[in-house]
């Protein structure tokens, strides 16, 4: 079953009322790191079937009751402490001079090559390859892996 909070989180993250299915999959799988792309597509299909999402041309929209949560979100209220993945990406950006977008693309490409490795782990490997001392991130990364194994 599609969890409303996951779908809503993707719309909030983009600050959008409408998204194409591909954009929603990307947000759930790669930007928010909530699930795999195939799981994201299945969740979206379930949300469409349940009426939580509606299709308007090529775009998907949240049902009216969920939409109010998204439209009241302001960019200032969306600011949070960066998660582990984004903190690692930031140090890779600093070390390499690449843009954040390009570093995330590199992580995504490497994830495809090493299917099954978490985005955080892949980002750590990329950081180590770039000469970054990853020691400050290891305990938190280890805790996340243990938590995922338990879930």
pLDDT at 31: 73
**Domains of the chain and CATH, by start:** 4-78 (1.10.10.10), 84-150 (no CATH)
Q: Decide if 69 contacts 8 (C-beta within 8 A).
A: yes
Chain position carrying tokens 């879930």: 151
Which contiguous run of DSSP H or E holds residue 130?
Answer: none
Q: What is the pLDDT of residues 57-71, one digit of tens each?
A: 999 999 875 555 444
State the pTM of this model.
Answer: 0.48
Q: What is the pLDDT of residues 24-73, one digit of tens each?
A: 988 887 777 777 788 888 889 988 998 999 999 999 999 875 555 444 34
Q: Quick count: other Cβ atoms within 10 Å of Cβ 21? A: 17
User: Which structure tokens are listed for 100?
Assistant: 């954040």
Please name which of 86, 95, 79 lies closest in space to residue 129, comparing C-alpha atoms: 95
């Amino acid at each position: 079953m599609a969890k409303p909070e996951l779908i809503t989180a993707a719309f909030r993250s983009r600050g959008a009322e409408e998204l194409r299915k591909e954009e929603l999959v990307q947000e759930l799988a790669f930007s928010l790191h909530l699930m795999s792309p195939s799981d994201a597509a299945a969740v979206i299909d379930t949300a469409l079937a349940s009426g939580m999402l509606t299709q308007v041309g090529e775009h998907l929209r949240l049902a009216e009751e969920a939409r109010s949560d998204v439209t009241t979100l302001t960019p200032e209220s969306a600011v949070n402490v960066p998660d582990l993945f984004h903190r690692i990406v930031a140090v890779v950006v600093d070390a390499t001079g690449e843009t954040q977008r390009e570093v995330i693309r590199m992580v995504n490409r490497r994830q495809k090559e090493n299917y099954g490795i978490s985005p955080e782990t892949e980002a750590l490997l990329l950081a180590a390859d770039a000469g970054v001392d990853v020691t400050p991130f290891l305990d938190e990364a280890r805790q996340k892996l243990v938590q995922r194994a338990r879930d």
